[in-house]
């Protein structure tokens, strides 16, 4: 399970978000203001079918005071079998990541290897992280998190509501003890996320060129492997 959570951390910078946004933070808002944010996310979730975006993920490690930056494209879609996600990380060590059904696959073209992680009974938890701000209902957050509205900030030219999530589950807190989402109130989706780990590490995700319900090709959700690709299945 630790390996699965490590992959979640690397993905959702995811996650795969937080105090690095631009703009002015106002005092904590009233519960009625938070309700309007959650309602807007609910409305967006009701019509959500798919989304794609460019991303920049910054992963900061406090122990070595170092930040690793990855960028690429990410895709989401909702099917009759649940949520699916694909991500293409560019650079000198590219990776293609695919989540379908109860399997997470990471393909490394440079070494022609696919690593498969069985999600199993943790599928619902994994999907909930994937859909944070991308197709997930706002009021569903209240089941797993203590939710607070911290104010509004300008992020990438968007007036975004800054929402703080504190996990209720001890197992989730072991990986992320605080999450921030910046929600575009016009579209009801996240334009920035930050995930904080207990020891001070964080993962900041910035999204741009976001397209919602514009259609995503089925080919995006297929790994482009070769006839010689090695497949490994580490124990979790």
Q: Tokens 């690397």 sit at which residue?
A: 10
Sign of CA dihedral 28, 33, 35, 38: negative
| Model pLDDT for residues 174-191, shown as the tens digit of each residue | 888 999 999 999 989 899
Quick one: pLDDT at residue 29?
A: 43
**Domain layout of the chain by residue ranges:** 2-230
Q: What is the pLDDT of residues 80-109, one digit of tens each?
A: 888 899 999 999 999 999 999 888 999 999
pLDDT in tens, 127-167: 777 777 788 899 999 998 999 999 999 998 899 999 999 99
Question: Going along the chain, which residue ranges are E strands?
Answer: 12-13, 15, 50-61, 66-79, 82-89, 95-100, 103-108, 113-118, 145-155, 158-167, 178-184, 189-196, 202-212, 230-232
Query: How many angstroms separate the CA atoms of 66 and 128, rounded?
Result: 29
pTM over 0.85: no
Domain 2-230, CATH class in plain words: mainly beta
pLDDT of residue 102: 86
């Amino acid at each position: 399970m630790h390996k699965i959570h490590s992959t979640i951390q690397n993905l959702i910078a995811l996650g795969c978000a937080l105090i690095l946004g631009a703009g002015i933070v106002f005092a904590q808002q009233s519960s009625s203001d938070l309700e309007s944010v959650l309602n807007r996310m609910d409305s967006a979730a009701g019509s959500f079918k798919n989304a794609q975006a460019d991303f920049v993920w910054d992963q900061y490690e406090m122990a070595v005071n170092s930040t690793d930056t990855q960028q690429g494209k990410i895709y989401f879609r909702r099917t009759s079998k649940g949520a699916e996600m694909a991500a293409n990380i560019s650079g000198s060590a590219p990776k293609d990541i695919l989540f379908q059904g109860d399997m997470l696959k990471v393909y490394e073209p440079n070494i022609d290897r696919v690593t498969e992680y069985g999600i199993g009974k943790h599928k619902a938890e994994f999907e909930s992280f994937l859909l944070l701000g991308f197709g997930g209902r706002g009021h569903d957050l209240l089941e797993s998190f203590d939710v607070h509205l911290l104010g509004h900030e300008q992020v990438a030219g968007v007036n975004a509501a800054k929402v703080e999530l504190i996990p209720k589950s001890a197992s989730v807190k072991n990986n992320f003890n605080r999450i921030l989402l910046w929600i575009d109130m016009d579209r009801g989706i996240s334009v920035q996320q930050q995930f904080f780990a207990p020891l001070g590490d964080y993962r900041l995700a910035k999204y741009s060129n976001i397209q919602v319900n514009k259609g995503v090709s089925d080919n995006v959700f297929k790994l482009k492997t070769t006839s010689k690709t090695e497949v490994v299945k580490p124990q979790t």
